[in-house]
Amino acid sequence: MIAEDLALLRDGLTRLLRDNGFDVVAAVADGDALVHGVMLEEPEIAIVDVRLPPTFRDEGLRAALEARRLRPQTAILIVSQYVEHAYAAELLADARGGVGYLLKDRIMDVAEFVEAVRRVAAGGTALDPEVVAQLFTTRNRAGPLERLSPRELEVLALMAEGRSNAGIAEALVVTVGAVEKHVASILHKLDLPPSESDHRRVLAVLEYLQG
């Protein structure tokens, strides 16, 4: 289901998702309707705008977290005109995966956006590259990331966005095997336990970066 207050974007998003084989069960315009809709329609994933009426602040984020508290199996994908890593941290706080946080700009790259929706619905994560970039500036100075090679930093950034090894390999135009080697090296250098599941991996990385 979709929660977005601007009719233009709501209809556009609905059409885009329907064209790509999704079933949009509800498209609503405010936070309360979102929480009701999640309880009533039980969607696999809710795509929510951060800024919703009546306050036009972070209403959408709060409503989404509330909906997820009431029905934990709902995946949440937050879309917004701006990203703040503080919000990403709140979304990821329960460390369960099935969350995403993207700039609205990313919707324009339809294939990638659809990929992200599927990934989040399946329990993975999708973080906007800008969030990841913010995290990296913040931590630039202090220590541990300096141990990584530039290539490993690139891989880490893509990992934090929620991509699988195959996805990373495609983005960097290298083999999956090479990526696997980098990932193992990164996790080792950052003293993180090796993990299979994609979103676990992301969460570990983020927790590490923020902690």
Partner 1 sequence: MTVFRPLVERRTYRELLFLLSGAPLAAAWFGLLLAGWLAVGLLAVTPLVVPALVAFRWATWLAAAAEAAVARGLLGVDVRLSRPRPAGRGYWGRIRAGLADPTFWAQQLYLVLRTTLGFGIAVGLASVVGVSLQLVVLPVTYSHFHEDVLGLHVQTGGTAFALVPLGLVGVVASAWLVRGLAAMWARLARMLAEPFAASLPRTDVQGILRRLLPAHAAFYAGLNLILIVIWALTTRAYFWPEWTLMPLAVPLAIHAWTVFVDSGDPRRIARTRALAIDLGAAMTLFLFFVGIWAVTTRAYFWPMWPGLGLAVVVGLHALATMTRRIDVLTTTRAGAVESAESELRRIERDLHDGAQARLVAIGMSLGLAEQKLADDPEAARTLLAEARAGTGDALRDLRDLTRGIHPPILADRGLEPALAALVARVPLFVELRVDLAERPREPVESAAYFVAAEALANAAKHGGAARVDIRAVRIGDAVVVTIMDDGHGGANPAGAGLQGLRGRVEALDGTFRVDSPPGGPTIVEAVLPCAS
Nearer to partner 1, 139 or 200 (CB): 139
Q: Give the CA dihedral 150, 152, 156, 158, nearest 10 degrees.
A: 80
Minimum distance from residue 89 beta carbon to partner 1 (Å): 10
Q: Is 159 exposed, middle or buried (0-12, 13-18, 19+ CB in 10 A)?
A: buried
The amino acid that residue 10 corresponds to is R
Which of 39, 184, 35 is CA-nearest to residue 48? 35
Here the tokens at position 139 are: 């931590």
Nearer to partner 1, 136 or 200 (CB): 136
Tokens 């029905």 correspond to: 71
Minimum distance from residue 152 beta carbon to partner 1 (Å): 20
Minimum distance from residue 63 beta carbon to partner 1 (Å): 13
Minimum distance from residue 57 beta carbon to partner 1 (Å): 4
Opening angle at CA 192, ends 61 and 117, nearest 5: 35
Nearer to partner 1, 53 or 194 (CB): 53
Which of 196, 129, 193 is CA-nearest to residue 165? 196
Binding site for partner 1 (CB under 8 A): 50-51, 57-58, 81-82, 84-87, 103-105, 108-109, 134-135, 137-138, 140-141
Nearer to partner 1, 76 or 135 (CB): 135
DSSP string, 181-202: HHHHHHHHHTTPPP-SSHHHHH
**Helix and strand numbers, DSSP H then E, in the chain:** 10, 6
Minimum distance from residue 137 beta carbon to partner 1 (Å): 6
Minimum distance from residue 66 beta carbon to partner 1 (Å): 16
Which of 143, 125, 46, 137 is CA-nearest to residue 88? 125
Nearer to partner 1, 195 or 210 (CB): 210
Nearer to partner 1, 41 or 109 (CB): 109
